[in-house]
Amino acid sequence: GVLIVGAGGRLLLANDEARRLLDLPADAEGLQVTDLGLEEGIAEPIASGRSVTDEVHMAADRLLAVNIRPTAPYGSAGTVVTLRDTTELRALSGRAEVARERLKLLYDAGVQVGTTLDVERTAEELAEVAVPRFADIVTVDLLDPVLRGEEPPELNTEMRRTAAVGLHGEHPLYPVGKLVRFVPTSPMAAGLAGGRAVLEADLRTAQLWRTQDPENSLRILDRGIHSLIAVPLRARGVVLGMAGYWRGPDSPSFDEEDVSFAEELTARAALSVDNARRYTREHTVADTLQRSLLPRRVPEQSAVEVAHRYLAAQAVGGDWFDVIPLPGARVALVVGDVVGHGLHAAATMGRLRTAVYNFSTLDLPPDELLSHLDELVAHIDTDEQEWGGITGATCLCAVYDPASGRVTAATAGHPGPALVLPDGTVTFPEVPVSPPLGLGAGLPIDTAELTLPEGSVLALFTDGLIESRDRDPDAGLAALRTALAGPSRTPEEICTSVIDAMLPARPSDDVALLVARTRRLDPERIAQWDVPPDPAAVSRVRNACARRLAEWGLEDIAFTTELILSELITNAIRYGTEPIRVRLLYDRSLVCEVSDGSSTSPHLRRAEDTDEGGRGLFLVAQFALRWGTRYTDRGKIIWSEQAVHEAGEPAAMIPEEALLAGWDDEPL
Residues 6 or more apart in contact with residue 171 via CB below 8 angstroms: 223
pLDDT-based confidence at residue 634 (cuts at 50, 70, 90): confident
Q: Which amino acid is at 586?
A: Y
pLDDT-based confidence at residue 659 (cuts at 50, 70, 90): very low
> CATH 3.60.40.10 spans which residues of the chain?
294-518
Pairing mode, if any, of strands 198-200 and 179-181?
Answer: unpaired
**Structure confidence at residue 594 (pLDDT):** 92
What class, spelled out in words, does domain 2-85 have in CATH? alpha beta
Pairing mode, if any, of strands 448-451 and 2-6?
Answer: unpaired
Residues 6 or more apart in contact with residue 58 via CB below 8 angstroms: 39, 41, 42, 64
* pLDDT tens profile 143-154: 999 998 888 877
pLDDT-based confidence at residue 510 (cuts at 50, 70, 90): confident
* pLDDT tens profile 210-242: 988 898 899 999 999 999 999 999 988 889 999
How far apart (Å, rounded) are the C-alpha atoms in residues 26 and 381? Answer: 98
| Residue 63 CA: distances (Å) to CA of 2, 58, 73, 86, 194 | 16, 5, 30, 5, 43
Q: Is 405 helix (H, G, I), strand (E, B) or coil?
A: coil
**Structure confidence at residue 649 (pLDDT):** 44
C-beta of residue 333 within 8 angstroms of C-beta of residue 460: yes
Q: Which amino acid is at 457?
A: V
Length of the chain: 668
Residue 591: strand pairing partners: 585, 641
Count of H-run helices and E-run strands, the chain? 16, 27
- What is the model's pTM? 0.66
How far apart (Å, rounded) are the C-alpha atoms in residues 335 and 395? Answer: 6
* pLDDT tens profile 228-285: 999 999 988 889 999 999 999 889 999 988 999 999 999 999 999 999 998 888 777 7
pLDDT surpasses 70 at 73? no
C-beta of residue 309 within 8 angstroms of C-beta of residue 499: yes
Answer CATH for 524-662 from 1.10.3720.10, 3.30.565.10, 3.50.50.60, 3.40.50.620: 3.30.565.10
Q: Which residue has the higher pLDDT, 404 or 154?
A: 404
User: Average model confidence (pLDDT) for the chain?
Assistant: 84
Average pLDDT of the segment spanning 354-360: 89
pLDDT-based confidence at residue 349 (cuts at 50, 70, 90): confident
Q: Is 42 helix (H, G, I), strand (E, B) or coil?
A: helix
Q: Which residue has the higher pLDDT, 130 or 433?
A: 130
Q: Is 95 exposed, middle or buried (0-12, 13-18, 19+ CB in 10 A)?
A: exposed
Fold (CATH) for 109-283: Beta-Lactamase (3.30.450)
* Range among 18-22, 69-73, 115-119, 425-429 rated most confident: 425-429
pLDDT-based confidence at residue 63 (cuts at 50, 70, 90): confident
* pLDDT tens profile 574-631: 888 889 999 999 988 899 999 998 888 777 666 555 444 556 677 788 888 888 888 8
- End-to-end CA, the chain: 134
Q: Give the containing element (helix H, strand E) for 483.
A: helix 473-484
Q: Is 289 exposed, middle or buried (0-12, 13-18, 19+ CB in 10 A)?
A: middle
How far apart (Å, rounded) are the C-alpha atoms in residues 10 and 599? Answer: 130
pLDDT-based confidence at residue 654 (cuts at 50, 70, 90): very low
Q: Which amino acid is at 104?
A: K
* Axis crossing angle, helix 558-575 with helix 537-551, rounded to the nearest 10: 150
Strands in 78-85's sheet, in edge-to-edge order, are: 11-14, 2-6, 78-85, 62-70, 52-59
CATH number of 294-518: 3.60.40.10
